[in-house]
Amino acid sequence: MDKRSAGRQGEDRACEALKKGGLKIIERNFSCPFGEIDIIAREKKTLVFVEVKARASQDYGEPSEAVTRTKRRRILRTAEVYMQKHDWDDKPVRFDIVEVLPQDVRHIRDAFDGSALRGRY
């Protein structure tokens, strides 16, 4: 399986886990010049931006550890573009990570802080 297919499969598993957890998937693979957000979902009145990290093993640590400061910054900037485009001002948002491993899918809520964006959160 190539990397793109593996990534898509990881995102599919993440979406299923999120749906089972009560989230509604709004969009997948939203991109803009600043970056891409794997999954955008809603949980009640909260908009949730989700980064998916799929790994074949934990040989090199937890998958979520791959979401570096630089990656978080890109996600935040991309989220801001999405929020402006969809008139999501002054409403709650959250940034989650879903780790996808062969035998497990883990949803990490509030994985990182989005308060750097215009002091909204």
How many Cβ atoms from other residues are within 10 Å of residue 5's Cβ? 9
Which residues, other chains included, contact 58 with Cβ-Cβ below 8 Å and sequence gap of 6+? Answer: 101
Provide mean pLDDT across the span 101-116: 90
Could you tell me the end-to-end alpha-carbon distance of the chain, in angstroms, rounded to an integer? 39
- Amino acid identity at 33: P
CB 121 within 8 A of CB 115: yes
Look at phi and psi of residue 44 and say left if phi exceeds 0, alpha if psi is from -120 to 50, else beta: left
3-state secondary structure of 82: helix
Mean pLDDT taken over the chain: 89
Mind listing the pLDDT tens digit for each residue in 17-38?
A: 999 999 999 999 999 999 999 9
Q: What is the rounded CA–CA span in Å between residue 36 and residue 30?
A: 6
Percent of the chain at pLDDT > 70 equals: 91
Q: What is the rounded CA–CA span in Å between residue 36 and residue 25?
A: 16
Residue 61, pLDDT score: 80
- Amino acid identity at 79: A
